[in-house]
């Protein structure tokens, strides 16, 4: 099963906004509203940031938002802060036999 496609890295200055893309197929991202996003700091477990494309768990800053268009989902972080520097992973339900697929991850650098 192929991983979802994410850019390897993105960078921006504090206060700016960034968008991380997550491209799949009609069998996963495009076929279902079941996309999630995770934040991971080095040496730590991932943390859920977005689920079901657009929903934020309780406690997650509203600077984080999710969206989807066709086979591509996106995570947008507005008003970048130094603490947002981390790795970000998307995941989707898939109709393949595995039912779950992750993206390759994107390293966010806050300049």
User: CB of residue 40 vs other proteins: minimum separation in angstroms?
Assistant: 8
User: CB of residue 98 vs other proteins: minimum separation in angstroms?
Assistant: 6
**Under 8 Å between Cβ of 67 and 76:** yes
- Torsional sign, CA 51, 58, 104, 77: positive
* Look-up of token digits 């079901």: 52
In the range 77-106, which residues lie near other proteins by CB under 8 A?
A: 87, 89, 91-93, 97-105
In terms of C-beta density within 10 A (0-12 exposed, 13-18 middle, 19 or more buried), how is residue 27 classed? middle
Interface size with other proteins, residues (CB under 8 A): 28
CB closer to other proteins out of 12 and 60: 60
x-marked contacts with other proteins along 37-66 as a string, rule CB under 8 A: -x-x----xxxx--xx----x---------
31 φ/ψ angles, rounded to the nearest 5 degrees = -95, -15
Options 32, 61, 67, 85; binder of other proteins; rule CB under 8 A = 32
Pairwise CA distance, residues 63 & 94, whole Å: 28
Binding residues (CB under 8 A) for other proteins: these are: 1, 3, 32, 34, 36, 38, 40, 45-48, 51-52, 57, 87, 89, 91-93, 97-105
């Amino acid at each position: 099963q192929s991983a979802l496609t994410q850019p390897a890295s993105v960078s921006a200055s504090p206060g700016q906004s960034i968008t991380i893309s997550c491209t799949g197929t009609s069998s996963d991202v495009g076929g279902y509203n079941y996309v999630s996003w995770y934040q991971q700091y080095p040496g730590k477990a991932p943390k859920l940031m977005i689920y079901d494309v657009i929903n934020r768990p309780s406690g997650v800053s509203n600077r984080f938002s999710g969206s989807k268009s066709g086979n591509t989902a996106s995570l947008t972080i507005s008003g970048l802060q130094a603490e947002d520097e981390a790795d970000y992973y998307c995941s989707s339900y898939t109709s393949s036999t595995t039912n779950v697929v992750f993206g390759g991850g994107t390293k966010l650098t806050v300049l």
